[in-house]
Amino acid sequence: MIDTNSLDAFESIKPDLNAKQRIVFEALRNKPATNKTLSKRMQLPINSITPRVLELRKMGLVKKMYSEIDNNRTATVWGVCL
């Protein structure tokens, strides 16, 4: 469960996110995921997910949670910082 301070923080930055950023942020807020997993879950091309995750990382809203192996490659699982 997300505490009240985290929800307040999210509400304060919400207007600063564009529509695509908000969609990706909400998806990660619900459940951390790799870019590939987000792409499948959201039924969007990976090239529309990866840049949004990078933008959210630069804003300090998304961070690396852990790594996992996917098809013999290391993949980063992203999650919300709040």
Q: pLDDT by residue (tens digit) across 1-30?
A: 455 555 555 565 566 899 999 999 999 999
Does residue 63 register a pLDDT over 90? yes
Q: pLDDT confidence of 82, banded at 50, 70, 90?
A: confident
Number of structural domains found in the chain: 1
Q: pLDDT confidence of 34, banded at 50, 70, 90?
A: very high
- Is pTM, for the whole model, over 0.85? no
* 30, 79 Cβ separation under 8 angstroms: no
Would you tell me how many other CB atoms lie within 10 Å of the CB of residue 7?
A: 11
Structural domain of 76: 4-80
Give 42-61 pLDDT, tens digit per residue. 999 999 999 999 999 999 99
CATH (domain of 49) = 1.10.10.10
What SS3 class is residue 17? coil
Q: Report the alpha-carbon distance of residue 34 to residue 68 in Å, rounded.
A: 9
